[in-house]
């Protein structure tokens, strides 16, 4: 068979770009292989590949595209910014307005800083926490992803609350040895870890609604409050990594949904309307440890660049339109109900975790509330489902650990088309499943 135009482009990509992709999660390694699709353009809920094939997009670029592609007001903001200069290296009115808009939505951001990615945002909150407390150790939760800075690429050690081990070549055992990893949704394991290490911990770092082993909310509505209260008892700061969650489920943070307040926030993805962005901030007394006011150093040539600031402002404005989040949640509900029904019809066991317009379909009959649960779900059936949907023009993330993201650009018609593709795809999954 002749290679497609997309396959030819990807073959070229592999000759120059390492692995053909600029981020490993874009490869199809986690779905049994296949050639990543090379996209050409996008608008609203859809993108089109270089062969002219159209896809309904639930990847949302791994989260940022909460308004969908090429939203008219974001596009206009980018065009206006481009015409007036994209970088000054000085304060600008745009960064002030954008910071004010974020602070208005999230009053706990008493002071904040813009950076260029979620990785930078999280990395800096950790440095700030260490600088303020004078402590070195961190506690994080197994399976959560916080960007690719060294201390974040640490996996759980052998015991339930033991010191971590490097999860990537190049991360030193010394760095990993500063990180304690415990299971999400397990307050006892957390309390045990704090009892052992609490007085050495600079910070506890958590995705308040996990997005990185699929969508996994706290099982107990008081879980996050207890995490925070316990950490504070040991003088440990609490950092919420809301890079995925902020402005994803409502106009604000997941912390606000659970009526809790961390000491520091890391933000990114959706706040930039698709442009490179990160931000961190929180308690003023803690943030004042950062240069030029304090001894913790953090800087950035591109930080607060007018393109990202103006796109972010336009994005927040569009998200303030009445009914945006209700619509995404309603479509998410329709999709998950339809997927569940298609799975039942095909005799395939699935567990679906959904929060608003974001959800994950796990091939298992068991609940998924931590990383071990997510690991135990069927990767092979997920891969069959992924490729079956892709062939039918429905693009979801190529990993069982990711989410479907409904955007403000999705419509009921998109859901109808998607559910028809899901019904046929579930039959393929059923054919590949071992008999029950
Ligand atoms: C929760 C979370 N934190 C941090 C990051 C890192 O963000 P970035 O890829 O913008 O560096 C990600 C990226 O997926 C994330 O999901």
pLDDT in tens, 311-339: 999 999 999 999 999 999 999 999 999 99
Give the global pTM. Answer: 0.97
User: Looking at residue 158, what is its pLDDT?
Assistant: 67
241 in active site: yes
Query: What is the pLDDT confidence band of residue 155, given thresholds at 50, 70 and 90?
Result: confident
**Of residues 161 and 238, which shows the higher confidence score?**
238
88: left (phi over 0), alpha (psi -120 to 50) or beta: alpha
Q: Is residue 85's pLDDT more than 80?
A: yes
Across 66-94, average pLDDT = 97
CATH classification number, 72-319, choose in 3.40.640.10, 3.30.70.100, 3.30.1330.60, 3.20.190.10: 3.40.640.10
**Which region among 19-33, 58-72, 86-100, 146-160 has the lowest average model confidence (pLDDT)?**
146-160
Q: Which atom of ligand 1 is nearest to the CA of 23?
A: 9
CB of 214 closer than 6 angstroms to any ligand 1 atom: no
Query: What is the pLDDT confidence band of residue 367, given thresholds at 50, 70 and 90?
Result: very high
150 in active site: no
**Which region among 153-167, 306-320, 414-428 has the lowest average model confidence (pLDDT)?**
153-167
Distance 214 CA to ligand 1 centre (A): 14
Q: Are 5-70+322-432 and 72-319 equal in CATH topology?
A: no
Rounded Cα distance, 352 and 362, in Å: 6
The closest of 266, 309, 265, 270 to 283, measured between CA atoms, is 265
The closest of 383, 389, 378 to 421, measured between CA atoms, is 389
Query: What is the pLDDT confidence band of residue 159, given thresholds at 50, 70 and 90?
Result: low
CB of 62 closer than 6 angstroms to any ligand 1 atom: yes
Rounded Cα distance, 145 and 156, in Å: 13
197 in active site: no
The closest of 222, 224, 229, 227 to 245, measured between CA atoms, is 224
Q: Give percent of the chain above pLDDT 70.
A: 99
Domain positions in the chain: 5-70+322-432, 72-319
CATH architecture observed for domain 5-70+322-432: Alpha-Beta Complex (3.90)
Considering the candidates 258, 269, 280, 371, report the single residue annotated as catalytic. Answer: 269
Rounded Cα distance, 3 and 5, in Å: 7
Q: Is residue 157's pLDDT more than 80?
A: no
Q: Is residue 161's pLDDT more than 90?
A: no
Instruction: Tell me 22's DSSP state.
Output: S
> Residue 424: helix, strand or coil by DSSP?
helix
Rounded Cα distance, 288 and 279, in Å: 15
Environment class of 48 (CB within 10 Å of its CB; exposed 0-12, middle 13-18, buried 19+): middle
Q: How far is CA 374 from CA 109, 140, 167, 367, 403, in A?
A: 33, 17, 18, 9, 12
The closest of 282, 272, 266, 298 to 121, measured between CA atoms, is 266
Q: Is residue 434's pLDDT more than 90?
A: no
């Amino acid at each position: 068979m002749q290679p497609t135009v997309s396959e030819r482009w990807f073959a070229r990509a592999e000759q120059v770009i390492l692995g053909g992709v600029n981020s490993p999660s874009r490869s199809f390694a986690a779905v049994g292989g296949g050639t990543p699709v090379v996209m050409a353009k996008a608008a609203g809920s859809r993108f089109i590949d270089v062969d002219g094939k159209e896809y309904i997009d639930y990847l949302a670029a791994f989260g940022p595209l909460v308004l969908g592609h090429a939203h008219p007001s974001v596009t206009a903001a980018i065009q206006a910014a481009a015409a007036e200069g994209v970088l000054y290296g000085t304060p600008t009115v745009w960064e002030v307005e954008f910071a004010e808009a974020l602070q208005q939505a999230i009053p706990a951001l008493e002071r904040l800083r813009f950076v260029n990615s979620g990785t930078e945002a999280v990395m800096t909150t950790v440095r700030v926490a260490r600088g303020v407390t004078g402590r070195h150790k961190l506690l994080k939760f197994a399976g959560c992803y916080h960007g690719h800075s060294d201390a974040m690429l640490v996996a759980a050690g052998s015991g339930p609350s033991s010191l971590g081990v490097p999860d990537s070549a190049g991360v030193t055992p010394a760095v990993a040895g500063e990180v304690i990893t415990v299971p999400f949704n397990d307050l006892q394991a957390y309390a045990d870890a704090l009892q052992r290490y609490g007085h050495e911990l600079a910070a506890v770092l958590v995705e308040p609604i996990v997005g990185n082993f699929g969508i996994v909310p706290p099982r107990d509505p008081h879980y996050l409050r207890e995490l925070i209260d316990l950490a504070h008892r040991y003088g440990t700061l609490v950092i919420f990594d809301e890079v995925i969650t902020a402005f994803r489920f409502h106009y604000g943070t997941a912390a606000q949904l659970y009526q809790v307040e961390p000491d520091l926030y890391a933000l990114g993805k959706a706040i930039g309307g698709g442009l490179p962005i990160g931000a961190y901030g929180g308690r003023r007394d803690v943030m004042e440890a950062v240069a030029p006011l304090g001894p913790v150093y953090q800087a950035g040539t591109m930080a607060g660049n007018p393109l990202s600031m103006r796109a972010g402002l336009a994005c927040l404005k569009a998200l303030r339109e009445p009914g945006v989040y209700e619509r995404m949640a309603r479509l998410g509900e329709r999709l998950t109900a339809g997927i569940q029904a298609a799975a039942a019809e095909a005799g395939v066991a699935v567990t679906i975790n959904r929060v608003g317009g974001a959800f994950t379909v796990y091939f298992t009959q068991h609940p998924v509330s931590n990383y071990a649960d997510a690991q135990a779900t069927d990767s092979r059936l997920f891969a069959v489902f992924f490729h079956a949907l892709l062939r039918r023009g429905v693009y979801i993330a190529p990993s069982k650990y990711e989410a479907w993201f409904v955007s403000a650009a999705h419509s009921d018609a998109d859901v109808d088309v998607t559910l028809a593709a899901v019904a046929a795809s579930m039959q393929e999954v059923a054919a590949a499943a071992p008999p029950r």
